[in-house]
Amino acid sequence: MKVRIHVSLKPGVLDPQGRAVHHALEGLGFAGVENVRIGRLIELDVADDTSDASLTEMCEKLLANTVIENYRIEKAD
């Protein structure tokens, strides 16, 4: 089973990397970009019987830092 973990900074946490990319997009002439937030995509190949609880534990223990980051687990078919 393929699983994608989307990790993103929590709302309100400053994302200087996103801000720099936002400025660069503006510099390239792309108007109307309101905001840019940069996150991380982690793809896992796991056994089909891997439980949701186990995936959540992976995120909480290592893949995301829940002080500053949110995560979303997406199971790919």
Partner 1 sequence: MRTAVITFPGSNCDRDMAVALERASGKAPLRVWHADKDLPERLDFIALPGGFSYGDYLRSGAMAANSPIMRAVKREADRGVAVLGVCNGFQVLAESGLLPGALMRNAAQTFICRTAALEVVTNRSLFTSGYEAGRTIHIPVAHHDGNYFADAETLDRLEGEGRVAFRYHENPNGSQRDIAGILNAAGNVLGMMPHPERAVDAAHGGTDGLPLFKAALERLAAA
Residues that bind partner 1 in the complex, under the rule CB under 8 A: 13-14, 16-17, 20, 61-63, 65, 67-68
Q: CB 28 → partner 1: shortest distance, Å?
A: 18
Q: CB 48 → partner 1: shortest distance, Å?
A: 25
Q: CB 67 → partner 1: shortest distance, Å?
A: 4
Distance between CA atoms of residues 75 and 59, nearest Å: 14
Report yes or no: 33 and 22 within 8 Å, Cβ to Cβ.
yes
Report the residue number, 13 or 33, with the smaller CB distance to partner 1.
13
β-strands 40-45, 69-76: how paired? unpaired
